[in-house]
Structures are given as structure tokens and as C-alpha cells.
Amino acid sequence: MANSAPNQNRVFTPYKEKKGEDYMSEGQVKHFTDILDAWKIELMSEVDRTVDHMKEEAANFPDPADRATQEEEFSLELRTRDRERKLIKKIDDTIQLMSNGEYGYCDTCGVEIGLRRMEARPTATQCIDCKSLDEIKEKQTRGK
């Protein structure tokens, strides 16, 4: 199964800021566009591999245990692909933010999210402080 976390399977060179460079300059936006495009291509190829695998491996086993094992394996693969489908949508939304000039800024407070956080999570829409607060609020509302 593929790992859908960002930058787990790919290697990229961290962006080196130039002295006096503005945040989300043309070079920085290109850097993140390249990361997102490569990530999307990687996810799309996983979809193709899953379809091929399911076609090749599909069998009507006479043994109910073998059939159940295969169905569980396919179910797990499909759930993973569904998460990746949602991630592809998030990548597309992020690319749209780039074209609108809104990429890299926190949706909640408007501050710069930061290059290193964006490299760790290129689809991030909140700065670390706002994200942490949201997670604390979520834990409190769930009662955990």
C-alpha cells in the first residue's frame, strides 16, 4: 500500500530563501507547485496500480475464507484510494489558492504559515498556532 503522507516517498530540495526575498515569491510558489504536482502524479499512479491489481488478482475462490481475505484486501485498498482521492482534491484546491495569490497564509488569522511548515504539509491552510488551537478545541468537544 502506498503512503499518502506528503514527502514520504519523494525527495525534494528544501527551498533556500534569497536575501530580501518576499514571502511566497515567484520562486517559492514554483517550488511548492512542483512539490504538489509531483505528489498528485504519485497519487494518480497509485490509483492506476490499484485498478490493475484488482483486475489481475480478482478471483472467485471456492473457499469462503480465501474469498473473504481477498475482499478484505480489496476493501482496504479502496479505502486507501478514497483517502487519496480526497487528498488529490485538496491538492487541486491548494493549486487554486496559488493561482489566487492566497497560498501560504493562514485561513484563520492571516499570518504567513512559513516555508518549512508548507514543505512538511504543502496543503496546510493554517499556521501552527491556529491548527494547534483547533485540535485542542476538537479534543475538548469530543470529551477526550
How far does CA 24 lie from the centroid of its chain? 20
pLDDT for residue 127: 96
Spell out the SS3 assignment of the chain: CCCCCCCCCCCCCCCCCCCCCCCCCHHHHHHHHHHHHHHHHHHHHHHHHHHHHHHHHCCCCCCHHHHHHHHHHHHHHHHHHHHHHHHHHHHHHHHHHHHCCCCCECCCCCCECCHHHHHHCCCCCCCHHHHHHHHHHHHHHHCC
Percent of the chain at pLDDT > 90 equals 61
pLDDT for residue 63: 83
Confidence of residue 134 (pLDDT cuts 50, 70, 90): very high
pLDDT in tens, 4-20: 444 445 678 999 999 99
Residues 6+ apart with CB under 8 A from 113: 104, 105, 106, 124, 125, 126, 127, 128
Confidence of residue 3 (pLDDT cuts 50, 70, 90): very low
Look at 66 and 31; give whichever has higher pLDDT. 31
Phi, psi of 2 (to 5 degrees): -80, 150
| Exposure b/e, 95-109, CB count within 10 A at least 16 = b | beebeeeebbbbeee
The grid coordinates of residue 17 equal: 530563501
pLDDT in tens, 51-94: 777 777 777 778 888 878 888 888 888 898 889 999 999 999 99
**Contact predicate 32/71, CB 8 Å:** no
The structural domains of the chain, ordered by start, are: 24-103 (1.20.120.910), 104-144 (no CATH)
Asked whether residue 1 carries a pLDDT value surpassing 70, the answer given is: no
